Amino acid sequence: MNAASGLHSFPSADGELAYLDTGSGDPVVLLHSGYVDHRVWAGQIPALTPGHRVIAPDVRGHGSSANATRPFRWADDLAALLRHLDTGPAVLVGLSMGGVIATDTLAEHPELVRAVVTSGAVTGDVRYTDPWHVEIQAEHARALGAGDIDAWLGAFLRVVAGPHRTLADIDPEILGGLREMALATLSKHTPDEKDWHVPVTGTWDRVVQSGVPVLAVNGAFEPAELLAAAERLAGAVADGRSLTVDGTGHYPNLEKPEAFNAALLDFLRGL
């Protein structure tokens, strides 16, 4: 997970937002998961650029992008970037938090979205109540409240493994890369910092009614509740499909990049 070169800056209404823009062809936007940055897609960018223009932002508050100083929505940031680049409609590929940003953008700015690929997420108005999710969320909250970075990192990395594995089952290089990116993002923030993010509401119905193709790609070791939600979404949209990558959890693009890339490229060829 080496840093990709050639980052650009977009002067948004609230600070500079960083993004990678490489390749040529139909645009594909890669939206990273929470606490990391565009480098989480290092295994996908070389596979996509021979036939696509790849745009991979660091979303606000992450990586090299500015923190918020006023209320904002990540979907609006992305829409502003695509309009700044005079590109779209684009295929949005989102991992975890990035998947929610993708479906939020489809709901709020449908004219900019050609298709959506989600991984480790569906829409932002779906809540997971299984014991594992509840435990992880509680660990996150406790650690952040206590300012215990080591405990927070432990909870963050447990998500990589999922409820059916331990961190010993994960490639240490993957864990090290995620840890490095997460610590870099955390260093941009303070414990008492105001959360300016405004959630997008009512997304499920709008995504389902959009008519836009949706692919849900998830690791087989994800919690059953998340996998079931992904299947429901794929079954509810007019052109939806789902795929499970064996032997992977929350980051199938990192654990099995060849399988993830093959599924993504196959979907793109069918649009």
CA angle 144, 36, 72 (to 5 degrees): 75
Indicate if 32 and 164 belong to the same structural domain: no
Residue 5, pLDDT score: 55
Q: Please give the C-alpha separations between residue 124 and each of 54, 127, 129, in angstroms, as whole numbers.
A: 24, 8, 14
Residue 246, pLDDT score: 96
Residue 144, pLDDT score: 80
Q: Summarize pLDDT for 112-134 with one digit per residue, the tens.
A: 999 999 999 999 999 888 898 89
- 1 part of a folded domain: no
The number of folded domains in the chain is: 2
Indicate if 138 and 121 belong to the same structural domain: no
2 pLDDT more than 50: no
Indicate if 146 and 244 belong to the same structural domain: no
Indicate if 98 and 229 belong to the same structural domain: yes
259 neighbors 252 (Cβ within 8 angstroms): yes
Residue 147, pLDDT score: 82
- 2 part of a folded domain: no
Q: Please give the C-alpha separations between residue 163 and each of 134, 157, 201, in angstroms, as whole numbers.
A: 12, 12, 28
Exposed, middle or buried, 183 (CB in 10 Å: 0-12/13-18/19+)? middle
Residue 4, pLDDT score: 45
**pTM of the entire structure?**
0.96
List the domain range (segments joined by +) for residue 217: 7-127+196-269
38 neighbors 58 (Cβ within 8 angstroms): yes
**Biggest alpha carbon–alpha carbon distance for the chain:** 49
Q: Summarize pLDDT for 27-76 with one digit per residue, the tens.
A: 999 999 999 999 999 999 999 999 999 999 999 999 999 999 999 999 99
Residue 143, pLDDT score: 84
Q: Summarize pLDDT for 163-217 with one digit per residue, the tens.
A: 999 999 999 999 999 999 999 999 999 888 899 999 999 999 999 999 999 999 9
Indicate if 41 and 172 belong to the same structural domain: no
Indicate if 41 and 171 belong to the same structural domain: no
Mean pLDDT, rounded, of the chain: 94
| Residue whose pair of structure tokens reads 């479906």 in the numeric block | 103
Of 210, 251, 13, 33, the closest CA to residue 108 belongs to 210
Residue 192, pLDDT score: 83
Residue 190, pLDDT score: 86
- Residue 262's CATH number: 3.40.50.1820
Residue 146, pLDDT score: 83
Residue 222, pLDDT score: 95
- 93 part of a folded domain: yes
In this prediction, residues 2-26 reach a mean pLDDT of 87
Q: For residue 82, what are its two tokens?
A: 């695509």
In this prediction, residues 22-28 reach a mean pLDDT of 97
- Count of CB atoms within 10 A of residue 112's CB? 21
Q: For residue 73, what are its two tokens?
A: 């929505």
Dist. CA 97–CA 179, nearest whole Å: 17
Q: Which of 186, 204, 222 is at the close of a domain? A: 186
243 neighbors 148 (Cβ within 8 angstroms): no
Q: For residue 268, what are its two tokens?
A: 């793109």
- 191 part of a folded domain: no
Indicate if 181 and 209 belong to the same structural domain: no
- 239 part of a folded domain: yes
Indicate if 218 and 246 belong to the same structural domain: yes
Indicate if 88 and 214 belong to the same structural domain: yes
Higher pLDDT, 142 or 43: 43
Indicate if 17 and 74 belong to the same structural domain: yes
Dist. CA 202–CA 20, nearest whole Å: 30
Dist. CA 43–CA 147, nearest whole Å: 33
